[in-house]
Structure 1
Amino acid sequence: MKFEKLYINGEYVDSTSGEFIEVENPATNEIIGRVPRGNAEDVEKAALAAKEAFKTFSLTSLDERIEIMKKFAAYLKENLDEMAELITKELGSPIEFSKETHVQSQINRVEKYINIVKDYEFSRRDGGALIVKEPAGVVGCLTPWNYPLGQIIQKIVFAILAGNTIVLKPSQQTPLVAYYVVDGLEKAGLPKGVLNLVTGVGGEVGNAIATSKHIDVISFTGSTKGGSEVSKLAQETVKRTTLELGGKSPAIFLDKENIELGVKQLLAIVIENTGQTCSAWSRAIVLESVREEFEAEIKKQFPNFKVGDPNDLNSIAGPLASKKQYDKVTDYIKKGKEIADVLIEANYDFPEKGYYVNPIVFNDVKNDAVIARDEIFGPVLCVIYVKDKEEAIEVANDTDYGLSGAVFGKQEEALEVAKLIRTGTITVNDGPGETGTPFGGYKMSGYGREGGIEGLEEYLETKTINVRA
């Protein structure tokens, strides 16, 4: 892979800056590669290439675009192990988690999106008018470091299937796997200029994408602070913007029903990927009536979620992704110990190098505490006790965020409560979910959706043509 090049208009080219960003393995602190530090001039070249390519690519048939995506899915399957190993190196996630969640589930997503567009109605009659859905234009895709392949797939697959062209900026922390996406789509026959890759720093490349007059749509996933800044910049040129931002999601435990299942799912989503998941249920809201059973179940299951060397098959989670993230998470843990009780904390024997942190469960946390308000993005769980169902709903909704959540209890009652939580996605007991369904947030967790018909429509414009049938 040509990691030291940008990919613009179908060619691997040098950045005009001549500078590079090193990529670190967070488990070993070794430098595993470097990518160009792109700049506004590089973004302008990429945006112009995408704008030119849109003239012809937007006119291709849906069947042509589907065929490209089928070949791309086949490429991902062929290179699954290699990509998983790279993600483990640049992110620090355990190798099996990298294979199953970071790669295989994204192959499933590509296939699901293909099926969605096959069934989508791109035109319909409404009396004397024809309503048509058209490609939106050039899409600027800004993706985060925590799911380096998945977040790219979330954006570019629907964008391309809809007939758009793209300028992609992956996170500077985990940019390497993006080159497999470029390679795979090039080999699948994607025309030059349709996908352009500009690596670099968010405040430079990301801001240039947000303000470029040649880019029509912005799709951003990242922190609420970063998304707010991108949104402000994008509005200067009145771009359509989709933001998938942070979360502080609740898991409500109403009674003893499904408590074993609920705790297992809770600890998994809090500890897997080392807690670096925007939709993690980082607040457990538990009725006092089941406090004893809940605490016992946490203590029983907690040792099953081992943190350690990502190449150890017994590791459920690896290190945090960077020194910056390590400093942030350990600072919150220190603050938490000053203001709350510790129900349980791991004490693993970590390797000498790497940004490892022990998972921790804080108990009897007040919902106005900083550890219950802020998105920590680490293996940190806050347990909040409430007197009844009504207070549980009130506390769950008393947050700036609204991205995810869960309710555990008797099925009918749990579903009633789930409907009252202001959040974009919520799980009831053992609800399995479905790959490729709409995902996004309420409040400061963002706006717009990724996945599902709603996600496809983020990349489409609506035109009304007044014409006789």
Structure 2
Amino acid sequence: MNIHDSFYIDGEWRKACSSQSTEVIDPATERPIARIALGNEEDVDRAVNAARNAFPAFSQWSREQRLALLERILVEYRARREELALRVSEEMGAPLGFALEWQVGIGEAHIARMIEVLKHYEFESSRGSTLVVKEPVGVVALITPWNWPLNQITCKVMPALAAGCTMVLKPSEIAPLDALVFAEILDSAGVPAGVFNLVNGTGVEVGEALSRHPQIDMVSFTGSTRAGVAVAKAGADTVKRIHQELGGKSANILLPDLTTEAGLERAVRQGVLSCFSNTGQSCNAPTRMLVPRQHYQEAVGYAVQAAAGVKVGPPKAADTTIGPLISALQFERVQSWIACGIEEGATVAIGGLGKPQGLDQGYYVKPTIFTDVTAGMRIAQEEIFGPVLVMIAYEDVEHAVALANDSPYGLAAYVQSNDLDTARGVARRLRAGTIAINYPAWDSSAPFGGYKRSGNGREYADFGLDEFLEIKGITGYASAH
């Protein structure tokens, strides 16, 4: 078992001040694969001080210098794609092919996209005699989750570097191994000492210390809504900027024109697979399928067929579609939500409580579809974060829009239709940060973030870069007097 007792601080690996540690568990075997140190307030202080000391010089780097740095990072990242995929697969149970193509691939796409954004981004503009300047916000804390670790690390670290910020990263202590490799990548690419720092630890200890630290100018947090509220409260006393990407309960509206002959089966099937992807552990997963009442029973039949074709199994098996949940705690949470749905009177069309047959070891769950669900049920309102889909019947388009918006969350929503103009009209009425029409390809240039309890601010491309910049107005800059 590998032991990681050091943190990357000020350009080198320094042994943790804290004596606390935790095991990293392979969710497919329930066995430990590594042990990492858990940082404390002293470790945070060392990392923040290193970032603060590095900020004056790094914030003055030219666009060309930062571009060259990001390009070197991309080269190093690509050279270690297979290693990153293996680490992600081991620590969170993602099928190996999925980990390489999506978990690692999305991180690579964010790096490449930020390079293109930085080439053309306008950091200065003139308004009469006033010069408007966008400058780095300062020292930033980046707190990232376990479910899409490299996606969230790269879509925070890359714009922070592009902006000229210095930073401290706290990855999830449940899935930290890919972040350790990422730190090595940045070191090999020549990121100056103190610009990037990494401290492992819990949210209660390290996350709290970063959020309330007086020398942190901004916190960019991705995680649960509950934890996001705690981060905001901890940062309030120092009036720092808090950027949050939180939970979701995304609606997937199948519009009435999707008849059996013209796309209902395809729309249902893709919706099921999208919901179950990454073992349902995605904050923007389409977990509420809204179906016209006249097509409801047909849709249920297609959904059950699609779910039956999902192969749950070991991450390294070639035919595995989805792997285990991340942890024993997450397994118990998902089981409790399935039990809740049964108690509320919803019908289990497929799946249900317990583990799939033959998978007694590992945090595996049965892909589950609930039918006869009403909007007021807790399984229709709360984020489950597992492969659990609820199917809700609606009467007309007005009812569908109302159901979609009847949620405390607003991260994403999905619209399926044979008529693009109709889909566009519905998309404009949905209160969510990202709307996907007819299952488009993932787009690294689209803004990502939510309304309501799904957070604030946006990530990806120039929208992500905006978040790490302050705006300064210099009046009289062009005046002759």
Whole-angstrom distance in 2 between the partners of 1:78 and 1:396: 43
Verify: 1:260 aligned to 2:261, yes or no: no
Query: For residue 312 of structure 2, what is the amino acid of its counterpart?
Result: V
How far apart are 1:292 and its partner, in Å?
2.9
How far apart are 1:258 and its partner, in Å?
3.0
Q: Is this contact kept in 2: 1:252–1:284, CA < 8 A?
A: yes
- Per the alignment, residue 424 of structure 1 pairs with 433
Whole-angstrom distance in 2 between the partners of 1:19 and 1:296: 51
Q: Is this contact kept in 1: 2:304–2:369, CA < 8 A?
A: no
- Per the alignment, residue 56 of structure 1 pairs with 57
Helix, strand or coil at the partner of 2:125? strand
In the TM superposition, 1:41-80 aligns within 5 A as 41-80=42-81
Verify: 1:174 aligned to 2:145, yes or no: no
Verify: 1:308 aligned to 2:313, yes or no: yes
How far apart are 1:337 and its partner, in Å?
1.8
- Per the alignment, residue 83 of structure 1 pairs with 84
Q: Residues 454 and 259 of structure 1: is their aligned pair in 2 closer, same or farther, counting only changes over 3 Å?
A: same
Helix, strand or coil at the partner of 2:321? coil
Where does structure 2 lack aligned partners over 5 or more consecutive residues?
A: none
How far apart are 1:436 and its partner, in Å?
3.5
Helix, strand or coil at the partner of 1:139? strand
Q: Residues 300 and 65 of structure 1: is their aligned pair in 2 closer, same or farther, counting only changes over 3 Å?
A: same
- Per the alignment, residue 207 of structure 1 pairs with 208
Whole-angstrom distance in 2 between the partners of 1:106 and 1:7: 20
Whole-angstrom distance in 1 between the partners of 2:181 and 2:74: 12
Query: For residue 446 of structure 1, what is the amino acid of its counterpart?
Result: G
Q: Is this contact kept in 1: 2:448–2:459, CA < 8 A?
A: yes
- Per the alignment, residue 406 of structure 2 pairs with 398
Whole-angstrom distance in 1 between the partners of 2:465 and 2:77: 21
In the TM superposition, 1:420-459 aligns within 5 A as 420-459=429-468
Where does structure 1 lack aligned partners over 5 or more consecutive residues?
A: none
How far apart are 1:266 and its partner, in Å?
1.2
Helix, strand or coil at the partner of 2:376? coil
How far apart are 1:433 and its partner, in Å?
4.2
Whole-angstrom distance in 2 between the partners of 1:341 and 1:104: 37
How far apart are 1:326 and its partner, in Å?
0.3
**Percent same amino acid among aligned pairs?**
40
Q: Is this contact kept in 2: 1:113–1:436, CA < 8 A?
A: no
- Per the alignment, residue 332 of structure 1 pairs with 337
Helix, strand or coil at the partner of 1:426? strand
Helix, strand or coil at the partner of 2:301? helix
Whole-angstrom distance in 1 between the partners of 2:357 and 2:319: 14
How many corresponding residue pairs? 469
Deviations 1:185-226 (A, max 9, x none): 111110000011010111000000000011101000000000
- Per the alignment, residue 117 of structure 2 pairs with 116
Deviations 1:121-147 (A, max 9, x none): 110110010101111100100001111
Whole-angstrom distance in 1 between the partners of 2:387 and 2:139: 37
How far apart are 1:86 and its partner, in Å?
0.9
- Alignment counterpart, residue 320 of structure 1, candidates 306, 318, 325: 325
Whole-angstrom distance in 2 between the partners of 1:382 and 1:430: 18
- Per the alignment, residue 147 of structure 1 pairs with 148
How far apart are 1:432 and its partner, in Å?
2.7
Q: Is this contact kept in 1: 2:273–2:307, CA < 8 A?
A: no
Query: For residue 214 of structure 1, what is the amino acid of its counterpart?
Result: Q
- Per the alignment, residue 412 of structure 1 pairs with 421
Whole-angstrom distance in 2 between the partners of 1:170 and 1:55: 25
Deviations 1:349-401 (A, max 9, x none): 34331000001100010111011111000000001111111000001000000
Q: Which runs of 4+ in 1 moved over 3 A?
A: none
- Per the alignment, residue 353 of structure 1 pairs with 361
Whole-angstrom distance in 2 between the partners of 1:345 and 1:452: 39
Helix, strand or coil at the partner of 1:263? helix
- Per the alignment, residue 222 of structure 2 pairs with 221
Helix, strand or coil at the partner of 2:192? coil
Between 437-446 and 424-433, the greater mean CA deviation after superposition: 424-433
Helix, strand or coil at the partner of 1:215? coil
In the TM superposition, 1:19-34 aligns within 5 A as 19-34=20-35
Helix, strand or coil at the partner of 2:4? coil
- Per the alignment, residue 388 of structure 2 pairs with 380
Q: Is this contact kept in 1: 2:27–2:363, CA < 8 A?
A: yes
How far apart are 1:105 and its partner, in Å?
2.0
- Per the alignment, residue 371 of structure 2 pairs with 363
Whole-angstrom distance in 1 between the partners of 2:459 and 2:99: 21
Q: Residues 319 and 385 of structure 1: is their aligned pair in 2 closer, same or farther, counting only changes over 3 Å?
A: same
TM-score for the superposition, normalised by structure 1:
0.98
In the TM superposition, 1:281-292 aligns within 5 A as 281-292=286-297
Between 343-352 and 207-216, the greater mean CA deviation after superposition: 343-352
- Alignment counterpart, residue 468 of structure 1, candidates 460, 468, 478: 478
Verify: 1:37 aligned to 2:38, yes or no: yes
Whole-angstrom distance in 2 between the partners of 1:170 and 1:345: 32
